[in-house]
Amino acid sequence: MKPVLKKHIYNLTPFTLLDFPGKVACVVWFSGCGMRCGYCYNTEIVTGHANYTYEDALKFLQTRKGLLQGVVLCGGEPLFSFDDEMLHFIKEIKEMGFLVKLDTNGVNFKALQRLLDEKVLDFIALDFKAPKNKFQLVTKNKTYSYKLFLNSLKILIKHDTKFEVRTTVHQDLLGLDDIQNMVDVLESLNYRGDYCLQNFVESEKNFQNLTKRHDSFDIKKITSENLNILYRNF
Ligand code: SF4
């Protein structure tokens, strides 16, 4: 009897020009995440509902060879349930000739290190959720997760794979001083790349009942001599 394959993937977005800088790509949405960020709008994905197996995704990708340049691994948190099976899946994607981008909250730094060692990632977007004193408030995750995230950041700073750091901003959760504090952390670790500040996406499905979009501060007051600060959707 054929074994029943486990489903890990919530959905596939067949085409995007927005999610992989400079590339025509598709998105693989992994289910599950250990965080519960107040502004998260992918609540159904995060709570673990999955519809597709790795086999399903690979069959789809076979039909996109030569049409797409890249595959974005997104979620949820793609590395939440990382194992050898997932590594094999990513290797198969690379063998088909696609570039791979990983969107991650950085908590599973060991999985990130393994993927870098295996040379299967071409670009990483690392979430910097909040400064240390607000990390638990924003993510509803364990206190030591900040330290795990920092491990990922330090690993990436030392590595030659391209990456960006990004923060989702909701003014109920982060103030200007918090964001400036995060800039200081990045600079003190000698990060010198892009720091993307992105406005939260309004949704009826956020984990937390947040106020609607408002402008209690001017995000463009954030300054840095060493980082390239990018603003998305402000
Ligand atoms: S926004 Fe937070 S809760 Fe939602 S997928 Fe990302 S890390 Fe998980």
Question: Residue 204 sits in which domain range?
Answer: 7-232
pLDDT, residue 214, reads 65
- How far is residue 13's CA from residue 74's CA, in Å, rounded to a whole number? 10
Q: Give the Å distance between the CA of 66 and the centre of ligand 1.
A: 31
Q: Does a structural domain hold residue 100?
A: yes
- Atom 4 in ligand 1: residue holding the nearest Cα: 40
Q: Does a structural domain hold residue 11?
A: yes
27 lines ligand 1 (CB under 6 A): no
Pair of tokens at residue 92? 């198969």
Tens digit of pLDDT for each residue in 86-110? Answer: 999 999 999 999 999 999 999 999 9
- How far is residue 24's CA from residue 123's CA, in Å, rounded to a whole number? 14
Q: Mean pLDDT lowest for which of 7-11, 159-163, 214-218?
A: 214-218
Q: Does a structural domain hold residue 185?
A: yes
Strand partners, 11: 29
Banded pLDDT at 155 (limits 50, 70, 90) = very high
Q: Does a structural domain hold residue 139?
A: yes
- Of 109, 170, 183, 186, which is closest to residue 138 (Cα–Cα)? 170
Q: Does a structural domain hold residue 123?
A: yes
pLDDT, residue 66, reads 95
CA distances from 141 to 22, 81, 151, 156 (A): 33, 16, 16, 22
Count of the separate structural domains present in the chain: 1
Inform me whether the pLDDT recorded for 203 exceeds 90.
no
Return the residue matching tokens 């700073």. Answer: 157
Is the separation of the CB atoms in 73 and 31 below 8 Å? no
Q: Does a structural domain hold residue 2?
A: no
* Substitution site in 46, 49, 127, 166 for ligand 1 pocket (most atoms within 8 Å of beta carbon): 46
Look over the chain and give the mean of its residue pLDDT values, rounded to a whole number. 94
CATH for 78: 3.20.20.70
Ligand 1 atom with minimal separation from the 33 CA: 8
Inform me whether the pLDDT recorded for 2 exceeds 80.
no
Q: Does a structural domain hold residue 219?
A: yes
